[in-house]
Structure 1
């Protein structure tokens, strides 16, 4: 896994805008905008000849390499490569979609964007109106709760915050507030601000009574945590009970057109710049954890809002150019289970994951307590010892199944560990990351890597070929071993066509060993002599004649041997084309393997019937996404140029 950068697969997140803005209007807005002024709001720029330059906001740097070109209305960072126009800059910086950025700048420069065509604008206008009403209700609610906290009515809540070590600065930065201990306070207070009852209902701030159609406040006598989108606009709330009344300690806004807990990370609006510069995010569980860590100087901390990490969360982090996520949850059972849930989102996306474990010798500790007790230096020291997520999962499985002694464990215990880890292996994209994960499992459990790969991929390893008896008297050399079972059909399964092509290209161009290793070629071949030959070719050259002899000894069918012989001879790819051809062949072979895995999963799902088990559903979804990514990559490789 390491720090490999794999593109984050797009999640099914609803688009905020459907209507298209005419290109002519976009060009007019771009022409009117002062690109230096807009970008200069977010970073310090200094004139340098005909350009303006500064320290790039998209990556940490001390020597300015970010340039703004006012004549051409674009920017370019010569340090990290980011470039584009003012729309691109704001999209990447604020995590907004293109039409939203265009509309905001249009208002600023006085360009009117007409509504869409009459036949489809009514529904879109209604949806925009609803979203605007909810935004206004949330904003007014956040301001009212904050004002109440700062008044005499907020004395008990301020005392509670002081007891938890929350500073006045943190109260302001996180816009904390308090809800009145009353059933119908909010509609009356916000009506003065022009916020109607319907808007409060849509925002989830009030609940309609079933009997008489009246309403009551959702949040009563609670410390209020406004939850913002990446752009800083309040989209929902979390509330912590301050009294001893019955009910949940924490209560969140219900799902609304703006607030969906699987798509929201608390604190991301304040953490995004640090995440973008460090390319690392710290994932915690609670509101106070985020506040406490930020207050200690750990400003890349964000929290899930009462749910496990989801692919949509990972996509949000991807918009901040995050490459690594460290998980820091409470040391209780739920906290220790969190990394396994996070892996379901991180592994398919290719993001590196780490797990930092809070010490438990002083009883239950959460990140907020730890940050207060040890400060920034203590938290950074704890994070420096974080284990890779894959290693953490292996250790946890071994602790549960093998009592922490894997080498001395019985076969049944080792197999139980493999069964526990197999879903995580399949979540990883095909290639180097999965291969390294499998090798780590094999090493910790003292298992044969090839046999483990066969077990995890659902393959049945073939028995090794039986050598002919040695001849005592001088004579011709012993014949190559015959494959057990024989049969052309079996031979075709033994060495699939694309894998044979990749092996032949590698034999002809041994300098491509690192490329073949990166594509996971040894794992695309059946365990045994063929996979071992591929591993040797990845490490260094093997004479063509020797490679062909070993193919025959391993039982490769004549068709595959002819393909490889041709690729090492008359059909040998040109040096400038060889790498692309090898990658194409490896990707085709991987697609065949994934297609086989999909067929197996669909058959198992059909066998189980409804409801579909969650692990099978997740595995099928991961396989479909992986195949889609592979096919997209193959089309890119097949494109000329």
Structure 2
């Protein structure tokens, strides 16, 4: 079956090879560089322990240095799914949201026609470039020189000039034997409403050729030299070659520069892109006369995981940025984001370059803020939150915005960041409160004398929980989970999702967690991988720590059933502890504004869940006695408490 011209190019543009291959391999995070699309893994086509399978996401190509397998996304799907060419196309097209065209017997004719149109566009590029050197273009040349563009820049970006007059380009192409119908199909001329011959679309304008990812001229952008012209910038209409929502200005050159490590900059217009590129920022692109579209966003993320949106420092620039946020929220994925560089007020990147040089632009780009910060600014700037109603309205709006993020883990991180920004906004406004509420507001009462607590005993000081910070319990439970899985790695696959979402407070814990996840499927290598990640001494310290060594499955390594119960119980306790902390933090903030029965009920339920998670598995079999207050008390816990109290009284008597 013949596919329409350009379909496979579009499919490859929309497909991330890293995502396609990632379903079949486990990436080697130490060797891979996700930011550059440079990924390594053990080869899925032959058995190996080392990561010799390389994926270059920017080029859309894979190669194994062991078995020499290589190809693109289509070939990978064919080989791994054991399907034919068209079946692989259908699989990838469905994932990319594209519909595979039905069989077209005229596909070759269409391919030939697109080739013809591209040739006509190239002739137009050459015509405009020659016209820039002629007499009528003197004013245009002066303008370009004033903007700091030398001959080198004019040649690199193939800048030209459409002379005044209604038929200059048309007559030139007719002399070259070009059919006027092809000129119409290219968007170079328009039909006359008065029955005359077609006339030139671009007149008295500086011309900027627009090329696709393959380097073909597909359209033009023209800047008017007449200040009274209705359109300062005019783009080609959409044609068989040109879909403005799926292309970017300077895309081919920017993709190559981004692949070499340059950060991708998204500017507003052609002149900004040219100025940035000439100043040492070659990975610069611009949308084509419209706001950024979803396909353009995906193109940017194919080139860079975190493009920088360079904004003009005015209200219009901010409005454009806010539109980008609205577009990007539903499309966000882990590792795919945006940053925003806001130029000084009243300046665009070109203005800043000419006024202060590349160093000033680099400084603004280095200070680019993440999207969540600009989202917060959009919702809070210029507003006053001096009442519960206004604060509640802000919370409601922010929840609605964040809810548009499809990825639940990313949505949670956005929520955490927003909560921290909210805390910083409202917390300084809350003064200390002592006394009670009287008519006219809260009144200060007399200060109470405060006595420092007695110093801790040596036994208390030795406690890991007491000597740690508020995250100590988390770190202790994380250590038990990781140690248990290191001693019995075949159980890890049952807890892969919980492990992946576990926020490790200790860097060694984080490294060990990643190693355990990577070792799923090759458990025999885990010990060596763990020692390589954190060092043999650190691993031995973890396994011999007092709070770890006493765990039954650590004392009896390899017992899968015991390990499974231990890890499940520790995850439950950890989740309950984190839930309790979250409720307590939020309730503390709410308590200062309004305390009610619902709030105390929430705290009670969270405490109950935490206590329930902390129970031993055989607690229902425990012996109970009646305490002094009439409540049931675990006999073992009561005996331990009585012993502790006796010791305290003895120490006090000795003192």
TM-score, normalised by the number of residues in structure 2: 0.53
CA distance in 1, matches of 2:73, 2:281: 26
The 5 A counterparts of 1:501-520 are 515-516=497-498, 518-519=500-501
Query: Which residue of 1 is the match for residue 244 of structure 2?
Result: 261
| SS of residue in 2 equivalent to 1:392 | helix
Question: Is the CA contact 1:282–1:300 (under 8 Å) kept in the aligned structure 2?
Answer: yes
Judged with a 3 Å threshold, the aligned counterparts in structure 2 of structure 1 residues 446 and 167 are, in CA distance, closer, same or farther, namely: same
* Alignment map for 1:488-499 (pairs within 5 Å): none
In the alignment, the residues of structure 1 paired with residue 152 and residue 228 of structure 2 have an alpha-carbon distance, to the nearest angstrom, of 30
Is residue 2:263 matched to residue 1:280? yes
> Cα distance 1:427–1:166, how it changes in 2: closer, same or farther (>3 A)?
farther
Match of 1:369 among 351, 369, 380: 351
Alignment of 1:83 with 2:68, yes or no, is no
State the shift of 1:334 in Å.
1.9
Report the counterpart of residue 338 of structure 2 in structure 1. Answer: 353
Match of 1:329 in 2: 311
Say whether 1:425 aligns with 2:402: yes
Distance in 1 (alpha carbons) for counterparts of 2:395 and 2:366? 29
Task: Give the SS at the match of 2:358.
Answer: helix
Q: Which residue of 1 aligns with 2:46?
A: none
* Distance apart, 1:374 and its partner CA: 2.4
Query: Following TM superposition, by how much is the alpha carbon of 1:220 offset from its aligned partner in structure 2, in angstroms?
Result: 0.4
Larger mean Cα displacement after TM superposition, 218-227 or 119-128:
119-128
Question: 1-side partners of 2:271 and 2:75: how far apart?
Answer: 29
- Give the alignment partner of residue 219 of structure 1, picking from 202, 214, 224: 202
Tell me how far 1:410 sits from its aligned partner: 2.1
Mark the runs of 5 or more structure 1 residues left unpaired by the alignment. Answer: 1-12, 20-55, 62-75, 93-98, 100-118, 450-505, 522-528, 540-548, 567-641
The corresponding residue for 2:576 is 533
Segment of structure 1 superposing worse, 121-130 or 242-251:
121-130
1:373 positional shift: 2.1
Matched, 1:240 2:223: yes
SS, match of residue 304 in structure 1: coil
* Cα distance between partner residues in 1 of 2:411 and 2:397: 16
Number of the residue aligned with 1:545:
none
Distance 1:565 1:193 in 2: 88
Question: Using a 3 Å threshold, how does the CA distance of structure 1 residues 446 and 308 change in structure 2: closer, same or farther?
Answer: same
Q: CA deviation at 1:139?
A: 1.2
Q: Secondary structure of 2:184's partner?
A: helix
Distance 2:117 2:190 in 1: 15
Deviation at 1:261, TM superposition (A): 1.6
CA 381–417 in structure 1, closer or farther in 2 if over 3 Å, else same = same
Deviation of 1:192 (Å): 2.8
CA distance in 2, matches of 1:375, 1:276: 25
Structure-2 change in CA distance of 1:384 and 1:552 (3 Å): closer
1:555, 1:445 → 2: CA distance?
27
Residue 393 of structure 1 deviates from its aligned partner by: 1.3
Q: Which residue of 2 aligns with 1:446?
A: 423
Name 1:381's counterpart in structure 2. Answer: 363
Residues 1:565 and 1:276: Cα distance change in structure 2 (over 3 Å) = farther
Following superposition, the deviation at residue 365 of structure 1 comes to 0.7
Is the CA contact (8 Å cut-off) linking 2:262 and 2:281 kept in structure 1? Answer: no
Q: Is the 8 A contact 1:343 1:424 kept in 2?
A: no
- Residue from 87, 107, 123 that aligns with 2:106: 123
Structure 1's 262 and 135: CA in aligned 2 closer, same or farther, altered over 3 A? same
Unmatched segments (≥5 aa) in structure 2: 10-32, 39-51, 64-68, 77-84, 86-101, 427-480, 487-491, 504-571, 583-603, 619-655
Q: Counterpart in 1 of 2:283?
A: 300
* Match among 219, 225, 229 for residue 212 of structure 2: 229
Deviation at 1:282, TM superposition (A): 0.7
Give distance in 2, aligned partners of 1:399 and 1:330: 18
Distance 2:164 2:271 in 1: 22
Equivalent-residue separation in structure 2 for 1:238 and 1:366 (angstroms): 19
CA distance in 2: counterparts of 1:126 and 1:443, whole angstroms: 60
Whether 2:174 is the aligned partner of 1:191: answer yes
**How far apart, in 1, do the equivalents of 2:301 and 2:152 lie?**
29
Does residue 16 of structure 1 match 2:6? yes
CA–CA distance in structure 1, aligned partners of residues 611 and 4 of structure 2: 50
2: distance between equivalents of 1:531 and 1:15? Answer: 56
Question: Which one scores higher on RCO, CA 8 angstroms, separation ≥ 6?
Answer: 1
Give the whole-Å Cα distance in 2 for the aligned partners of 1:247 and 1:229. Answer: 28
TM-score (norm. length: structure 1): 0.54
**Secondary structure at the counterpart of residue 307 of structure 2:** strand
Give 1 or 2 for the bigger CA radius of gyration. 2
Alignment of 1:131-150 (within 5 A): 131-150=114-133
